[in-house]
Amino acid sequence: MQKALVWLRRDLRLYDNAALHHALKESEQVWLTFIFDTEILKPLIKGELDVDGLKHDRRVDFIWQGIKQIDEQLCQQGGGLIVYFGNPIECIPQIASELGVNAVFTNHDYEPSAIERDDTVKAKLEKQDIELLTFKDQVIFEKKEILTNSNTVFSIFTPYKNNWLKTLQEKDLAAYECNPKPGQLAAIPKKLSQSLPSLESMGFCPTGIESYLPPGSEGGQAFLEDFLSRIDQYQIGRDFPAIKGVSYLSTHLRFGMLSIRGLVREAHRRMLAGSMGATIWLSELIWRDFYFMILANHPRLAKGASFKPDYDNIAWESGATAKKLFTAWCEGKTGYPLVDAAMHQLNQSGYMHNRLRMVVASFLTKDLGIDWRWGEAYFAEHLNDFELSSNNGGWQWASSSGCDAQPYFRIFNPITQSEKFDSEGKFIKRYLPQLEKLSKKSVHAPWKAGHIELEAAGITLGRDYPLPVVDHDEARKKTLVRYSVVKKIA
């Protein structure tokens, strides 16, 4: 009898799942497992803990809620989810051996550390005469499936996108059927049966994230249905953080609670029907594939290298002054309201609007002169939808060191960005209520407001709201000098 173990990682759904599909197709008995990876989670338990000595991390809670949902769904079908808190290098071979499976099925992971982990697991399984079979699932096109006419890897997005669209066929978007036969999802043997590890037992505390970000495929589908009612206006509203203009699907997509094939299929269908909103959103999804491809072919990026090596010659600010400026940025106390409001949004919710990610990244690197790697690490720790490839790509884009990045001399003005994309200051005032009484004009740059207006608003700069930590015009001049080393080399 053919038996299979499906190892879930960042594909937390029971529909349209490549690994699950192939396991059900090729095996008579199938089990599913998820490992809360100690190699990933234990480094997260650092810094400030709550009163019970537990770590507050929304992502772990979100995953836990999604795993619980999958376990309940499997139990209704006569199976269950085998969940361990441990190192998968040890856990997967152990579970596979206990079950007596012929093969372990899982989906590709493209991060260098994950590839190394999978190679180790594969070697251990082979010693037990068990195969490790992996499948493409989290992207439409991977690694070197989209190449230039000279068979090299793309480094510019637009020609990559054009080739991507030209290559796309119906089969690339077809959903994988995942309908088990009666009894195919096997019950968990008693020796492996255990309750779902609690968040507390793993060192984390519940965060209540499900109150505003409902987890699992059910939560993802609800968000998708809401977005599809707005998608045709996406190109209009996506840059304005005060309105409901974006999809809010990134966290569900990050953990595979939604299928990328389903999202692209819907966006592509609507694009062909003439929807400009769907066309722009599809482009965003292709950017995601693009950054996955870049990381897969340039693994050195995961170790902090600039995509353009010349940019590693830049001398960033350092010492106590740099640390002080970085702290002000992290805490939303730079004196630039749009930047500060964006950082408060991130710190309070784990989410930041995409336009604002570009604004705060530009501000950190080109106004404060801080190494982009500091910001990349901060986002990695705080973003609910943190994805190594996209996070690295986004920060290198903003700092001009990445592939197809903005030119080094393009420096966002945080005031004009604020006036353009939050003209009435609604977003700013939501996260900086102390500025509530300022006029629509002054809320973008409070230090430019008159004494009478500040007094009427009950604001003393430096007490109720900080003065700017840098002057943007002066910072711009310093940045052009800082980047001149690249200009001379390039």
Amino acid 411: pLDDT: 94
For 253-282, the pLDDT digits (tens) are: 999 999 999 999 999 999 999 999 999 999
Q: Among all residues, which ones are annotated catalytic?
A: 284, 287, 316, 354, 372, 395
For 340-388, the pLDDT digits (tens) are: 999 999 999 999 999 999 999 999 999 999 999 999 999 999 999 999 9
Query: Can you list the domains of the chain with their CATH numbers?
Result: 1-138 (3.40.50.620), 139-174+217-297 (1.25.40.80), 309-485 (1.10.579.10)
Amino acid 464: pLDDT: 97
DSSP states of 128-180: TT-EEEEE--S-SS-TTSSB-TTS-B--SHHHHHHHHHHH--HHHHPPPP--P
Instruction: Count Cβ neighbours within 10 Å for each residue of 92-129 and write b for 16 or more, e otherwise.
Output: bbbbbeebebbbbbbbbbbbbebeebbebbbebbeeee
Both tokens of 346, joined, read: 């991130």
**Res 58 pLDDT > 50:** yes
Q: Which residues contact 26 (CB under 8 A, 6 or more apart)?
A: 2, 4, 103
**Res 161 pLDDT > 90:** yes
For 424-468, the pLDDT digits (tens) are: 999 999 999 999 999 999 999 999 999 999 999 999 999 999 999
pTM for the model: 0.95
204-205 and 29-37 strand pairing:
unpaired
Split at pLDDT 50, 70, 90, the class of 51 is low
Question: Which residues make beta-bridge pairs with 104?
Answer: 5, 132
